[in-house]
């Protein structure tokens, strides 16, 4: 039997980093956040959410696999998101998250997990400058591969272009990349952002070859410090604007590989 080739990824951007998509016959959810606007504690910090989800937790539907980049920040996993997480068939995250949340399977860097026909590889991510783990905690990204499907990279809260280069060197071709952008900055490391900004996202996109770039984690929180307009401008100035896809929250978007 010949595998059908799927060259697009159908996704719905819920808001912030939260994305639902279908892949390999399964429904996936990234970093579930479904709470309403308000103030949320994160250790010694208070993060302010500005907009609610475009799709509610009640509307999100059954989830086969949840990909959780990290559990320690409410802009990646909030109280309602934890309830959704508990309903997912499989939850993949960091070993630290697995130690804190029942039912989570922790993955070490470069580890593979097979779910149905899909191979998920945990890939490195750095939530700030070198040494940020002590304050920001451990985070992870993911690469998805399956017969007849595009290769998909989910960055998680990664600010390191060097790590993107390592991922490409190890994995090879990536067809679609979901990049957490927005230049997130709570002042913990001065002017150093803890996610990709427009400039570093464009550099990452160039390293990713001709991959389609899907921007998420850019709006909805006060600590996201760059606009989508700036992201578009920087990609256009770099001559790669045609590769940038900015999904409309709540709408089904087909991203071509």
Rounded to a whole number of angstroms, the CA Rg of the chain reads 17
**pLDDT tens digits for range 21-67:** 999 999 999 999 999 999 988 777 789 999 999 999 999 999 999 99
On whether residue 207 sits in a domain, the answer given is yes
Task: List the CATH number of the domain containing 130.
Answer: 3.60.15.10
* Domain count within the chain: 1
Asked if residues 60 and 30 have their Cβ atoms less than 8 Å apart, the reply is no
Q: How many residues in total does the chain contain?
A: 257
What integer pLDDT is reported at residue 135 of this predicted model?
Answer: 61
> Please, which contacts does 200-206 make with residues 24 or more away whose CB atoms are closer than 8 Å?
200/159, 200/161, 201/231, 201/234, 201/235, 202/234, 202/235, 202/238, 202/240, 203/161, 204/155, 204/161, 204/164, 204/177, 204/179, 205/177, 205/179, 205/235, 205/238, 205/240, 205/243, 205/244, 206/238, 206/240
Looking at the predicted structure, is the pLDDT value of residue 133 above 90?
no
Domain presence at residue 222 = yes
Cα angle 253, 254, 257 (rounded to 5 degrees) comes to 140
pLDDT at position 4 is 56
- What is this structure's pTM? 0.94
Which pLDDT belongs to residue 190?
A: 76
Tally of CA atoms within 13 A in the half-sphere of 5 that contains its CB: 3
No. of helices (H) and no. of strands (E), the chain: 6, 16
pLDDT tens profile 188-231: 777 788 899 999 999 999 999 999 999 999 999 999 999 999 99
Q: Is 43 a domain residue?
A: yes
Please check whether residue 197 lies inside any domain of the structure: yes
Residue 3 lies in a domain: no
Q: Which residue has the tokens 């500005």?
A: 50
Residue 53 falls within a domain, yes or no? yes
pLDDT score recorded for residue 210:
96
**Alpha-carbon distances of 177 from 84, 124, 239, rounded to whole Å:** 24, 14, 18
- Single out the residue of 99, 108, 106, 63 nearest to residue 81, CA to CA: 63
Sort strands 8-15 and 252-256 into parallel, antiparallel or unpaired: antiparallel
pLDDT at 2: 42
Top-confidence residue, 130 or 1: 130
| pLDDT in the model for residue 5 | 60
Asked whether residue 2 is domain-assigned, the answer is no
Q: How far is CA 84 from the centre of its chain?
A: 17
Q: Which domain holds residue 111?
A: 8-256
Whole-angstrom Cα distance, residue 57 to residue 248?
Answer: 18
């Amino acid at each position: 039997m010949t595998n059908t080739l799927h060259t697009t990824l159908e996704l719905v951007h819920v808001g912030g980093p939260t994305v639902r998509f279908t892949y390999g016959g399964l429904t996936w959810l990234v970093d579930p956040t479904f709470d309403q606007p308000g103030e949320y504690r994160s250790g010694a910090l208070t993060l302010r959410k500005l907009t609610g989800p475009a799709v509610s937790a009640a509307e999100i539907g059954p989830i086969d696999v949840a990909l959780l980049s990290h559990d320690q920040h409410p802009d990646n996993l909030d109280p309602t998101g934890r309830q959704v997480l508990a309903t997912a068939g499989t939850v993949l995250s960091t070993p630290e998250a697995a130690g804190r949340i029942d039912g989570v399977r922790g993955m070490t860097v470069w580890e593979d997990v097979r779910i149905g026909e899909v191979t998920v590889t945990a890939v490195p991510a750095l939530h700030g400058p070198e040494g940020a783990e002590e304050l920001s905690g451990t985070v992870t990204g993911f690469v998805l591969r399956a017969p007849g499907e595009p290769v998909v990279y989910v960055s998680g809260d990664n600010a390191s272009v060097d790590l993107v280069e390592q991922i490409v060197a190890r994995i090879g071709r990536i067809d679609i990349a979901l990049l957490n952008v927005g230049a997130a900055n709570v002042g913990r490391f001065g002017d150093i952002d803890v996610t990709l900004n427009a400039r570093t996202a464009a550099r990452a996109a160039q390293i990713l070859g001709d991959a389609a770039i899907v921007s998420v984690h850019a709006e909805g929180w006060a600590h996201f410090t760059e606009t989508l307009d700036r992201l578009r401008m920087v990609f256009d100035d770099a001559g790669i604007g045609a590769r940038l896809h900015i999904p409309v929250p709540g709408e089904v978007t087909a991203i071509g590989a």
